[in-house]
Chain A
Amino acid sequence: QKEVEQNSGPLSVPEGAIASLNCTYSDRGSQSFFWYRQYSGKSPELIMSIYSNGDKEDGRFTAQLNKASQYVSLLIRDSQPSDSATYLCAVRGDNYGQNFVFGPGTRLSVLP
């Protein structure tokens, strides 16, 4: 059973703080990891992808991958109210073909 788990939230952080979103996955063969942001009523949009252990930074966003512990996280620095959305973790493994397994998403609320 391929599973991707996230805390559903809501996660509330004050404006300017660091928001930390976590995701764990069950399949050790997973190779590719993605974070999507989804505003209410809209479709998911890609924020970051990460393929190897360690950190990957893009602007205010940092993705962290630890394959040994089977978790991937997303840090959002200097959080803004416009970051308020649901964040979906997606995982692709060797046995998935081109398919992703999506987590249920974490709802983030950034308070002004």
Chain B
Amino acid sequence: DVKVTQSSRYLVKRTGEKVFLECVQDMDHENMFWYRQDPGLGLRLIYFSYDVKMKEKGDIPEGYSVSREKKERFSLILESASTNQTSMYLCASSTSAVQTQYFGPGTRLLVL
């Protein structure tokens, strides 16, 4: 079974703090993705990565950065958290061959 884990299920941070969200997959997938999901707006792609040290902007990269130093780990960084970054953050991974994306359990982030 594919397993994608995320470092926290719930997180509360203050405005201006630097926030790290980590995602780990155990299936040797090449591709990893970060989404945020908000009511009425659906799933929106923030960043994705096709390989170690590779990253590409998604639809809403502003205010975020990512790091992929190892194949199994993809980190999302909020450099200076703001209240409008309160959301559910979902990580996903896939192989290039199969294409199906598998999701982690999500991190619900509240920025006060």
Contact = CB atoms under 8 A, between A and B. Distances in A.
Interface of A: 32, 34, 36, 42-46, 49, 88, 90, 92, 97-100, 102-105
A50 B30 CA distance: 22
Interface of B: 31, 33, 40-43, 45, 48, 50, 56, 58, 90, 94, 96, 99-106
A7 to B, nearest CB: 13
A49 B94 CA distance: 14
Given A98-B94, A99-B45, A102-B43, A42 B100 contact: no
Contact of A42 (B41, B42, B102, B106): B106
6 contacts: A43-B106, A46-B102, A49-B99, A98-B48, A98-B94, A99-B58
A99 B43 contact: no
Contacts of B103: 36, 43-45
Top 4 closest pairs, chain A to chain B, by CB: A43-B103, A104-B42, A102-B43, A98-B31
